[in-house]
Structures are given as structure tokens and as C-alpha cells.
């Protein structure tokens, strides 16, 4: 078994909302991600999946507990973890090439080298010919490809993806999933991928972690043993249905609990 690259040790995150209200987004969450693994975090809204990614990226400090990346605790913006956001977060005033070059530029690499890196990863995501387009001129799917190229060019040890395909239409999403699988196979980078789509998790992940709703904890960790390379027809196999039923069982329980909790608090108000 490969070594753990990310270790979350009893991590708690509390958000103060106003003077009295507190939201416990994560409570004593412990989780290990192994080197090269593709891990999907699944759970209903408000289970703290995104919060967990923000903690790993170092955008937020944990209230309690520590997250280690290769044995070193994360404190402040983490230069070893690269993030992809659901809403792309591309710089609108930079061209595709300019956006992809951004990471290398921040590393103060010489221009020629930056160019070469950008060109390589733009080709990898199939956007050759669009180098001089601005993000606003591209479709959502193409913009998300640019963020993939940008992440690859920044050369991070860990990839964090926060529902990157949620805003895409079903067909584009499927194409993007296949590309992501291909890219993951090529790069072998450890990836933590947040989604609320079980099918997406089953296509992509080596392992699927179901999170409980507020406060977020690990509810179940399921190894996805579907054979690779996976194509869409894997969804027809009995093993796929078995896994999906199993995961859905966990998720459904949490979603029901969440609905009851919110309607309960609504009644209390």
C-alpha cells in the first residue's frame, strides 16, 4: 500500500455567523489520502466537502486539528496544492495562454519556458488554436479545460477539485470526465474531487468517501473496484449498480437527516 500524502487528523471547522450563531461545518474529521489516489468526496449540500478543500488549500485555518501534506502541517495558502473551482475563476483579462502561464509566471520562470509549458498543457486539454482567446469568448466546457491546463502548468503535488463539472451540461460533463481520467492516468497526481453526483464519483474515483451532513464527518469509505479504463458502459455492469446502491444508501440517510434538521429548525423559528 502506498504512503499517505494527505492526513487530516481530527479536524474541526466552526464558522461564526453573527455574534451567537455558529455553524460546525466539520467535526473531528479524520481522513487519509494515499499517493496518486483519485478520491471523491460525496455528500449532500452543507456536509463540509468544500470546507475541507479550502482547508487543504490553506484558504481557511482549521478551528481544531491539523491537516498534514507529506507530513508537514498546512498553515496558510498551500503552495503544494492546486485548486479548480466550480466557477472556473479564470482571469478574464488574460488570454487562454496567459491564464495557463500564470502559475509558471508566479514561479518567475523565464518567458520562453513559460510559453513551452503553456503550449504543452493547452495541447493536452485539446485547446490548441485557442491560445489567444479570452475566457469570455469560450464555452463553459472550454473554460473548465483552461482551468485544468492552468492547474497542470502550475505543477502542484495535489489537485483539489470543487465540483468542477457541476455547471456543465450532461454531455460536456461526460467528455470532461473522460479527459480528467486520461489526465490523471498520465500525471498520476493525487486528486481530491468533490461532487454530489454519485455517477460522477463512480466513473472517476479509486475511492469514494461519503460525508455526513452538518457537522461533516466521514460516514463511509468505499473502494471503487470497477475495472479501468472505465467507459460509460461500465454503468451497465452489476457491480456498478451494487456500488451505487451502497453509496446511495449512505447518502440518502444523510440527506433525509439534513432535511429533517432544517425543517425542524424552521419550525422552531
Partner 1 sequence: MRGRVTPGGFRLGAKSRSFGLGALSVVVLLAAWHLVTAGGYISAIFLPSPQQVVGQARRYLADGSLVWHVLTSGRRVLAGFVLAAAVAVPLGIVLGTSRTAKALFDPILSIIRPLPSLSWIPLTILWFGIDEGQKYAIVFMGTFASALLYVMESTRRVDPLLIKAAQNLGATRLDVLREVILPGSLPGIISGLKVCLALAWTCVLSAEMVAATHGLGALIWFAKDWNNMALVMVGMVSISITVLVIDSAFRVIEDRILPWERHQRRRDT
Q: Would you tell me which residues interact with partner 1 (CB under 8 A)? A: 57, 59, 77, 79, 81-83, 85, 87, 89-94, 102-103, 106-107, 134-137, 150, 154
82 φ/ψ sector (left φ>0, alpha ψ -120 to 50, else beta): beta
Residue 172, CB half-sphere, CA atoms under 13 Å: how many? 13
Taking the least distance from each CB to partner 1, the nearer of 92 and 229 is: 92
Q: Where are the beta strands (DSSP E) in the chain?
A: 4-17, 21-34, 38-42, 64-69, 72-73, 81-84, 158-162, 190-195, 207-211, 218-223
Q: Which is nearer to partner 1, 94 or 115 (CB)?
A: 94
**Of 59 and 68, CB closest to partner 1:** 59
> Positive or negative CA dihedral for 107, 109, 113, 115?
positive
User: What grid cell was written down for 213?
Assistant: 451532513
Q: Residue 239: helix, strand or coil by DSSP?
A: helix
| Residue 264 CB, nearest approach to partner 1 (Å) | 33
Closest CB to partner 1 among residues 79, 249: 79
Residues 6+ apart with CB under 8 A from 181: 203, 204, 228, 229, 230
Q: Which is nearer to partner 1, 29 or 81 (CB)?
A: 81
In the complex, the smallest distance separating the C-beta of residue 57 from partner 1, rounded to whole angstroms, is 6
Shortest Å, Cβ 147 to partner 1: 9
SS3 19: coil
User: Measured at the alpha carbon of residue 196, what is the angle toward residues 38 and 238, in degrees to the nearest 5?
Assistant: 70
Kindly tell me which of 116 and 259 has the beta carbon lying closer to partner 1: 116
Give whichever of 122 and 154 is closer to partner 1, judged by the CB atom: 154
Cell numbers 504543452 correspond to: 120
Least separation, in Å, of the C-beta of 204 and partner 1? Answer: 21
Residues 42/210, Cβ–Cβ less than 8 Å: yes
Q: How far apart are CA 149 and CA 130, in angstroms?
A: 13
In the complex, the smallest distance separating the C-beta of residue 116 from partner 1, rounded to whole angstroms, is 18
Min separation Cβ 214 and partner 1, Å: 23
Smallest distance from partner 1 to CB 251, Å = 27
Amino acid at each position: 500500500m502506498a504512503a499517505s500524502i494527505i492526513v487530516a487528523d481530527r479536524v474541526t471547522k466552526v464558522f461564526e455567523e453573527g455574534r451567537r450563531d455558529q455553524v460546525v461545518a466539520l467535526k473531528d474529521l479524520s481522513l487519509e489520502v494515499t499517493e496518486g489516489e483519485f478520491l471523491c468526496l460525496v455528500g449532500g449540500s452543507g456536509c463540509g466537502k468544500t470546507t475541507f478543500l479550502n482547508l487543504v488549500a490553506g484558504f481557511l485555518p482549521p478551528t481544531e486539528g491539523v491537516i498534514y501534506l507529506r507530513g508537514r502541517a498546512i498553515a496558510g495558502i498551500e503552495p503544494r496544492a492546486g485548486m479548480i473551482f466550480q466557477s472556473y475563476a479564470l482571469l478574464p483579462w488574460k488570454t487562454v495562454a496567459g491564464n495557463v502561464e500564470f502559475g509558471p509566471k508566479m514561479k518567475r520562470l523565464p518567458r520562453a519556458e513559460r510559453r513551452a509549458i503553456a503550449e504543452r498543457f493547452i495541447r493536452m486539454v485539446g485547446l490548441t488554436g485557442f491560445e489567444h482567446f479570452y475566457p469570455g469568448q469560450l464555452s463553459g466546457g472550454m473554460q473548465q479545460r483552461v482551468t485544468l491546463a492552468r492547474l497542470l502548468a502550475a505543477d502542484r503535488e495535489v489537485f483539489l477539485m470543487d465540483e468542477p463539472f457541476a455547471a456543465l451540461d450532461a454531455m460536456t460533463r461526460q467528455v470532461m470526465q473522460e479527459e480528467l481520467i486520461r489526465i490523471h492516468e498520465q500525471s498520476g497526481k493525487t486528486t481530491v474531487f468533490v461532487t454530489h453526483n454519485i455517477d460522477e464519483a463512480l466513473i472517476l474515483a479509486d475511492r469514494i468517501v461519503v460525508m455526513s451532513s452538518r457537522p461533516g464527518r466521514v460516514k463511509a469509505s468505499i473502494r471503487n473496484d470497477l475495472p479501468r479504463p472505465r467507459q460509460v458502459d461500465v454503468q451497465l455492469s452489476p457491480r456498478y449498480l451494487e456500488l451505487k446502491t451502497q453509496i446511495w444508501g449512505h447518502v440518502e440517510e444523510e440527506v433525509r437527516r439534513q432535511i429533517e434538521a432544517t425543517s425542524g429548525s424552521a419550525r422552531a423559528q
